[in-house]
Amino acid sequence: MSGLWRNHPAPPRQQSLFAKSPRKRSARPTQADVLIGMLRQERAKNRPLELPAIMQAGIAQHGARFNEIRARGFVVVNKTDRHNGAVRSRYWLTFDPEVQAQ
């Protein structure tokens, strides 16, 4: 799978959200790396990552980033539901190949 935005570097504002990945990567994280870091942080708190947090981080093409993440072996489960008439989308990291495969 190739595309213009695949492995798109995270801008400086997003880099501050990035938690270092266990695997060696380039000095500048990608938006997928930022999203993985956010998923890991919420997983450590036993909570899902909610769409508003993803949007606040500036990852507008989050569907494409989830495709990248899943292609790297991560398992992310998405659940949507209605709450007070609004649709909520939440994401759980259920398998992290960089941590659990070791």
Residue 2 falls inside a structural domain: no
More confident residue, 9 or 3: 9
Q: For the chain, what is the domain count?
A: 1
Cα separations (Å) of 36 from 22, 43, 85?
A: 11, 10, 29
Residue 4 falls inside a structural domain: no
Residue 42 falls inside a structural domain: yes
pLDDT in tens, 60-93: 789 999 999 999 999 999 999 998 888 899 999 9
Residue 102 falls inside a structural domain: no
Residue 61 falls inside a structural domain: yes
Expressed as residue numbers, the domain containing 90 is 29-96
Q: Using 50, 70 and 90 to split pLDDT, how confident is the model at 1?
A: very low
Q: What is the pLDDT of residue 100?
A: 86
What values do phi and psi take at 17, rounded to 5? -85, -10
pLDDT in tens, 26-53: 567 889 999 999 999 999 999 999 999 9
